[in-house]
């Protein structure tokens, strides 16, 4: 069993990660977004976790951090020792070890997108903030950004980690939840020295001034006690480059009516994978399905590769589509099929489930 529990929250391309120690129930929340706290707390409780620290991997330009609310409720805030944020925080230095229950992670300074960007590495996991994305790099055109420094950070601090390291980025705009160091080293065009030198993909030409909305976010996220709006402002910048590679074709999707005969057949050459959370799987699942929670798929890539062709399912078909896109992006499952309508539709039709 994994020593940790992982849950990634996605919201308009922004990713927040909950990393919990299974043994002690202590958890770290990474890059929380204003307005989403109830959802973070409910999920932590569902997993039997207690959030003991919040990490902002850098001063965010694209959204407002929820770190202040956690600070006010007695939770520690962790940020880089180099940050200009005036909120009370534990100052993390390069090479330092941080602990969450029995879990230990090493702090890596990875400047470029911002001067105060840090990543955590440990337990086969790299939480990288806005540096390396699936198939691209973060923007480096804010005032104070440096594309050369970002590239150097990614090449020397991240791409030197073991190939099978699961990478949790701060953003994903193509519905790809995570990636691996080996996959990005082999395929990411923005870290390829020849392509970068040829200027085929210009990632962030530096500007002299930030947009007003970026300035508002930065000023608010740096302030000790800013007046916060009750919800996240709708007009936000994006932290991905505009040159980010387009999505590939949508994975195949089939209805419950189409797939039910396959499930019932004795000779079924496809593996049925349920990506819901463990308690959802326990309540009811398709007979013979295997449980691989979406946020933790990255730790099971070798098994999934051996499993071969797969039919992916979740509650309604949304999370399993993310799983299908991510596993196909990584080349783990070549032609995944998503179950349209998910278990909800399956049960509506009176098809068999196991409890
Ligand atoms: Fe960012």
Tell me what pLDDT residue 244 has: 52
Tell me the DSSP string of 241-294: -TTPPPP-PPPEEE-HHHHHHHHH-SS--SEEEE-S-HHHHHH-B-TTPEE--G
- Quote the CA–CA distance of 284 and 295 in Å, as a whole number: 20
Determine the distance separating the centroid of ligand 1 and the alpha carbon of 59, expressed in angstroms: 7
Domain ranges of the chain: 4-222, 252-348
pLDDT band at 250 (very low <50, low <70, confident <90, very high): confident
Determine the distance separating the centroid of ligand 1 and the alpha carbon of 139, expressed in angstroms: 8
Mean pLDDT value across residues 302-315:
93
The encoded tokens of residue 199 equal 């200027």
Determine the distance separating the centroid of ligand 1 and the alpha carbon of 306, expressed in angstroms: 36
Determine the distance separating the centroid of ligand 1 and the alpha carbon of 1, expressed in angstroms: 33
Tell me what pLDDT residue 242 has: 54
Determine the distance separating the centroid of ligand 1 and the alpha carbon of 13, expressed in angstroms: 11
**What would you report as the CA-atom Rg of the chain, rounded to the nearest whole angstrom?**
21
pLDDT band at 245 (very low <50, low <70, confident <90, very high): low
Tell me what pLDDT residue 339 has: 97
The encoded tokens of residue 60 equal 């965010």
Measured from the Cβ of residue 337, the count of other Cβ atoms closer than 10 Å reads: 22
- Quote the CA–CA distance of 90 and 352 in Å, as a whole number: 52
Tell me the DSSP string of 197-219: HHTSS------SS--HHHHHHHH
Determine the distance separating the centroid of ligand 1 and the alpha carbon of 288, expressed in angstroms: 42
Determine the distance separating the centroid of ligand 1 and the alpha carbon of 239, expressed in angstroms: 5
Q: Tell whether the model's pLDDT for residue 328 goes beyond 50.
A: yes
Residue with the bigger pLDDT between 235 and 347: it is 347
Q: Is the pTM of this model over 0.75?
A: yes
Determine the distance separating the centroid of ligand 1 and the alpha carbon of 137, expressed in angstroms: 11
The encoded tokens of residue 34 equal 């204003």
Q: Which residue has the tokens 């007979």?
A: 287
The encoded tokens of residue 205 equal 């030409």
Cα angle value 218/116/153 (rounded, 5°): 130
Determine the distance separating the centroid of ligand 1 and the alpha carbon of 270, expressed in angstroms: 40
Tell me what pLDDT residue 266 has: 59
Q: Which residue has the tokens 């740096």?
A: 222
Tell me what pLDDT residue 308 has: 83
Determine the distance separating the centroid of ligand 1 and the alpha carbon of 130, expressed in angstroms: 5
Fold of 4-222: Metallo-beta-lactamase; Chain A (3.60.15)
Determine the distance separating the centroid of ligand 1 and the alpha carbon of 159, expressed in angstroms: 20
Determine the distance separating the centroid of ligand 1 and the alpha carbon of 133, expressed in angstroms: 11
The encoded tokens of residue 121 equal 């590495």
Determine the distance separating the centroid of ligand 1 and the alpha carbon of 60, expressed in angstroms: 5
Q: Tell whether the model's pLDDT for residue 202 goes beyond 50.
A: no
Determine the distance separating the centroid of ligand 1 and the alpha carbon of 240, expressed in angstroms: 8
pLDDT band at 4 (very low <50, low <70, confident <90, very high): very high
Segment (H or E) for 45: helix 37-46
Span 9-58, pLDDT tens digits: 998 889 999 999 999 999 999 999 999 999 999 999 999 999 999 999 99
Eight-state DSSP code of residue 190 = G
Determine the distance separating the centroid of ligand 1 and the alpha carbon of 56, expressed in angstroms: 10
Determine the distance separating the centroid of ligand 1 and the alpha carbon of 150, expressed in angstroms: 12
- Quote the CA–CA distance of 4 and 22 in Å, as a whole number: 5
Determine the distance separating the centroid of ligand 1 and the alpha carbon of 2, expressed in angstroms: 29
Measured from the Cβ of residue 103, the count of other Cβ atoms closer than 10 Å reads: 22
Q: Tell whether the model's pLDDT for residue 272 goes beyond 90.
A: yes
Residue 172 in contact with residue 245, Cβ under 8 Å? Answer: no
Determine the distance separating the centroid of ligand 1 and the alpha carbon of 78, expressed in angstroms: 16
Our measurement of the distance from residue 77's CA atom to the centroid of its chain's CA atoms, rounded to an integer in Å, reads 20
Determine the distance separating the centroid of ligand 1 and the alpha carbon of 80, expressed in angstroms: 14
Segment (H or E) for 238: none
% of the chain surpassing 70 pLDDT: 91
Determine the distance separating the centroid of ligand 1 and the alpha carbon of 216, expressed in angstroms: 14
Q: Which residue has the tokens 């519905």?
A: 175
Determine the distance separating the centroid of ligand 1 and the alpha carbon of 208, expressed in angstroms: 18
* Beta strand segments in the chain, E: 4-11, 14-21, 26-30, 50-55, 76-80, 90-92, 97-100, 103-109, 118-122, 125-129, 132-133, 136-137, 166-169, 179-180, 252-254, 271-274, 290-291, 310-313, 337-339
Determine the distance separating the centroid of ligand 1 and the alpha carbon of 30, expressed in angstroms: 13
Architecture, CATH, for domain 252-348: 3-Layer(aba) Sandwich (3.40)
């Amino acid at each position: 069993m994994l020593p940790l529990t992982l849950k990634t929250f996605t919201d308009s391309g922004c990713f927040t990660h909950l990393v919990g120690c299974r043994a002690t129930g202590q958890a770290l929340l990474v890059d929380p977004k204003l307005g989403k706290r109830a959802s973070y707390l409910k999920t932590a409780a569902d997993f039997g976790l207690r959030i003991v620290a919040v990490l902002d991997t850098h001063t965010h330009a694209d959204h407002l951090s929820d770190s202040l609310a956690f600070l006010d409720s007695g939770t520690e805030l962790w940020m880089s020792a180099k940050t200009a944020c005036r909120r009370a925080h534990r100052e993390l230095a390069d090479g330092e070890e941080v602990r969450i229950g029995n879990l230990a992670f090493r702090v890596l300074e990875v400047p470029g997108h911002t001067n105060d960007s840090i990543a955590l590495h440990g337990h086969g996991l790299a939480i990288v903030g806005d540096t390396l994305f699936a198939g691209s790099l973060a923007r480096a055109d804010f005032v104070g950004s440096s594309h050369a420094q970002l590239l150097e950070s990614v090449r020397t601090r991240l791409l030197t980690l073991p190939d099978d390291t699961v990478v949790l980025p701060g953003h994903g705009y193509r519905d790809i939840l995570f990636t691996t160091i080996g996959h990005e080293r082999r395929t990411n065009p923005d870290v390829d020295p020849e392509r970068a030198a040829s200027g085929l993909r210009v990632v962030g030409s530096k500007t002299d001034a930030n947009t007003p909305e970026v300035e508002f976010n930065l000023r608010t996220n740096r302030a000790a006690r800013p007046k916060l709006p009750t919800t996240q402002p709708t007009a936000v910048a994006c932290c991905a480059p505009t040159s980010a590679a387009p999505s590939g074709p949508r994975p195949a999707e089939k209805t419950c009516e189409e797939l039910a005969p396959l499930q019932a057949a004795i000779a079924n050459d496809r593996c049925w994978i349920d990506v819901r959370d463990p308690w959802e799987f326990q309540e009811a699942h398709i007979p013979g399905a295997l449980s691989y929670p979406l946020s933790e798929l990255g730790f099971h890539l070798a098994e999934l590769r051996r499993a071969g062709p797969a039919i992916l399912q979740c509650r309604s078909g949304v999370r399993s589509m993310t799983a299908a896109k991510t596993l196909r992006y990584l080349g783990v499952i070549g032609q995944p099929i998503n179950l349209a309508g998910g278990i909800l539709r399956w049960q509506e039709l009176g098809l068999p489930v196991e409890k």
